[in-house]
Amino acid sequence: MSKQVRLTSIAIVTVIMLYAAVVSLSYCLSGDLNHDEHQFMASAFMVAQYGLHPYQDFAYFHMPNLVYLYAPFFFTQYPFLLARIFVGICGFGICFTIFLYARALLSRYGKLVSITIPICITVLFLNSQLYKLAASHVWNHTPATFFTLLAFLLHCRGIRFAKRFNVFFFSGMSLGMAIGIRLSFAPLIIPFLLAILLFHSGTFKTKGLQVLTFCIGGLLANVVAIYFFFTSFQDFWFGNIGYASLNTLFKEELSYMLPMTLVSKFTYLIHLFIRTSSEFLVLLACLYSLALFAIDRIRNPERLKFELLFILMLLPFLLFGCLAPSPSWQQYYFTIVPFIMLLSLYALSSRRDKRYPAAIVLPFILLVAALNKSDFTIDIFTKPQTLSPIELQRESEEIRSYIDVEALGGKILTLSPLYAVSSKLPIYEEFVTGPFAWRVSHLLSEEEAISRGLPLRTRIKTFVKERRPCAILTGKENEWWLDKPLNEAAKDVGYYRIETSSGLILWRSNE
């Protein structure tokens, strides 16, 4: 490779990665606040500020790893900003991995193909509406997907290099981290173990040691979850399994959404990938690549690469994890997008026919060109004060300016705890989950709800009179079953109303 060609290649890679970084940061810093984010951040605050722990000291409705990943952020001035950036970094990590892997897989096709397709497929991924949605919030989808992708790549390397037991250990840790972030990734244990047994040609002893090493890594990544499983089993089980059933009942009770059968979930998925232009193009690119691969295999039959078979094994289990929650939401299906793209890349790189590279490159160029203008903002550079995490921090500090916690005593009662914890204001353990425990607690008996630390709408006035919050914060959950009972309780005990500059309502104690 000449020096000029190498420098040109480096420049191109640098530009596309800078573009990916800007888009990923734009998404994570400009996304509107979603009420799912309160639970992740408020739980981390309770760990960092008071040494309290999920399941044991307060209800939590996910696997625990993210709580402890985010907890150190509360030793800084901008915890929510750092959490959003962490999600953006995970998203960028997925883009970076896909790009580099595409270059490596397609290197034998020559310079044109090995640089054009990776660029096109990266831009295609960045323009995915599912990627934008998942990377815009402090949810558990993007980090879990990144760790799963990392586990896949490490696993493939371990299978190719039989004696690299340390690679299986880190593969297990990566998948274990994904499961410890989002439980719906747990079914992937099956294809990962099968891959060792089916695709590796080593002895039974070697395979057994690899399985053991992989499992040890996965268990170490979930040591926190294992601890809570044995010490707080009932609350751990409720937080990860029981709550999901109650949430489905809650949606059906309000006629918010009809019960979703497996057929209706598949219909939702098909509509998602057909009616959304960016996802349709991702699917079309995959089908086109598989068609080229099938034609090539008919002409040149030979054994498939194990990586291709591994992805085909993974996809049903990934899909099962996406379909398990009810009702379905778009972001649940984000995790299959990177693996669909990897399937496309492996299909293209497995072709023996190197002729007509334009037949491979041109459709990808057309696909990217057909996309709408990339939906990201450059406000991260020009108007940083308008970014969601910065605005939330400002609003949180404004709320703190109205409250002298030390003088008044008590805590903040709110269904939007991120507005309190961002400026280190204390909150009640019963309301760490934001609106989620509040929405479903009436579906349990009063005794069970209280024993699990869930707040009850029917007892909220008693709660306020007995616990005497120094302030009650409302204004973000305006439905009757959410903020309204808090507003009525505040009026009932004689709190006076303050409206902040952003429209939040602060009911403050006269004491």
**Max alpha carbon distance in the chain (Å)?**
84
pLDDT, mean of residues 176-196: 95
Structure confidence at residue 265 as a pLDDT band (50, 70, 90): confident
The pLDDT score that the predictor gives to residue 121 is 87
* Helices 3-30 and 388-401: angle between axes, nearest 10 degrees: 40
The pLDDT score that the predictor gives to residue 480 is 54
Q: Assess whether pLDDT exceeds 90 at residue 421.
A: yes
- What amino acid is encoded at 74 in this protein? F
User: Contact at 8 Å (CB) between 141 and 27?
Assistant: no
Q: Which of 38-47, 248-257, 268-277 has the highest mean pLDDT?
A: 38-47
Q: What CA–CA distance (Å, rounded) separates 91 from 76?
A: 23
Helices (H), 276-377: 277-299, 306-323, 336-349, 358-370
- For all residues of the chain together, what is the average pLDDT? 87
Query: Higher-confidence residue: 447 or 356?
Result: 447
Query: Higher-confidence residue: 160 or 235?
Result: 235
Per-residue DSSP letter, 278: H
The pLDDT score that the predictor gives to residue 326 is 77
Structure confidence at residue 28 as a pLDDT band (50, 70, 90): very high
With the CA atoms of 198, 333, 184 and 61 taken in that order, what torsion angle do they form, in degrees rounded to the nearest 10? 170
Least confident of 161-165, 197-201, 402-406, 465-469: 161-165
The pLDDT score that the predictor gives to residue 379 is 67
**Residue in the block written with tokens 């990566």:** 174
Query: Higher-confidence residue: 204 or 369?
Result: 204
Q: Sort strands 412-414 and 471-474 into parallel, antiparallel or unpaired.
A: parallel
With the CA atoms of 245, 247, 248 and 254 taken in that order, what torsion angle do they form, in degrees rounded to the nearest 10? 140
Q: Which of 222, 116, 210, 103 is nearest to 166 (CA)?
A: 210
pLDDT, mean of residues 77-84: 95
**Residue in the block written with tokens 């009063």:** 446
Q: What CA–CA distance (Å, rounded) separates 129 from 136?
A: 11
Structure confidence at residue 362 as a pLDDT band (50, 70, 90): low
pLDDT, mean of residues 301-306: 78
The pLDDT score that the predictor gives to residue 479 is 59
Q: What CA–CA distance (Å, rounded) separates 308 from 291?
A: 14
Q: What CA–CA distance (Å, rounded) separates 94 from 88?
A: 10
Q: Which residues pair with 414 in a beta bridge?
A: 473
Q: Which residues pair with 505 in a beta bridge?
A: 474, 499
Beta strands in 124-221 (DSSP E): none
Q: Assess whether pLDDT exceeds 60 at residue 410.
A: yes
The pLDDT score that the predictor gives to residue 372 is 52
Q: Assess whether pLDDT exceeds 90 at residue 241.
A: yes
Residue 103: C-alpha distances to residues 28, 122, 459 (Å) = 27, 11, 60
The pLDDT score that the predictor gives to residue 303 is 73
Q: What CA–CA distance (Å, rounded) separates 414 from 168?
A: 45
Q: Assess whether pLDDT exceeds 60 at residue 358.
A: no
Q: Is the pTM above the cut of 0.85? A: yes
Q: Assess whether pLDDT exceeds 70 at residue 354.
A: no
The pLDDT score that the predictor gives to residue 45 is 97
The pLDDT score that the predictor gives to residue 153 is 93
Q: Residue 442 class from Cβ within 10 Å (0-12 exposed, 13-18 middle, 19+ buried)?
A: middle
Structure confidence at residue 187 as a pLDDT band (50, 70, 90): very high
Q: Sort strands 505-508 and 412-414 into parallel, antiparallel or unpaired.
A: unpaired
Query: Higher-confidence residue: 33 or 251?
Result: 33
Q: Assess whether pLDDT exceeds 60 at residue 434.
A: yes
pLDDT, mean of residues 289-294: 85
The pLDDT score that the predictor gives to residue 76 is 93
Q: Assess whether pLDDT exceeds 80 at residue 4.
A: no
Q: Assess whether pLDDT exceeds 60 at residue 64.
A: yes
Q: Assess whether pLDDT exceeds 80 at residue 77.
A: yes
The pLDDT score that the predictor gives to residue 368 is 62
pLDDT, mean of residues 20-36: 90
Q: Assess whether pLDDT exceeds 70 at residue 272.
A: yes
Q: What CA–CA distance (Å, rounded) separates 46 from 67?
A: 9
Percent of the chain with pLDDT over 90: 52
Structure confidence at residue 361 as a pLDDT band (50, 70, 90): low
- Encode pLDDT of 119-133 as tens digits: 888 888 888 889 999
**227 contact partners, CB below 8 Å, separation of at least 6:** none
pLDDT, mean of residues 476-503: 84
**104 contact partners, CB below 8 Å, separation of at least 6:** none
Q: Assess whether pLDDT exceeds 90 at residue 304.
A: no
The pLDDT score that the predictor gives to residue 161 is 77
Q: Which residues pair with 499 in a beta bridge?
A: 505
Q: Sort strands 505-508 and 496-499 into parallel, antiparallel or unpaired.
A: antiparallel
Q: Which of 98-107, 228-237, 367-376 has the highest mean pLDDT?
A: 228-237
Q: Assess whether pLDDT exceeds 70 at residue 422.
A: yes
The number of residues making up the chain comes to: 511
The pLDDT score that the predictor gives to residue 391 is 92
pLDDT, mean of residues 80-95: 95
Q: What CA–CA distance (Å, rounded) separates 21 from 29?
A: 12
Q: Assess whether pLDDT exceeds 70 at residue 1.
A: no
Query: Higher-confidence residue: 56 or 162?
Result: 56
- What amino acid is encoded at 283 in this protein? L
Structure confidence at residue 337 as a pLDDT band (50, 70, 90): very high
Angle CA 214–217–220, to nearest 5: 150
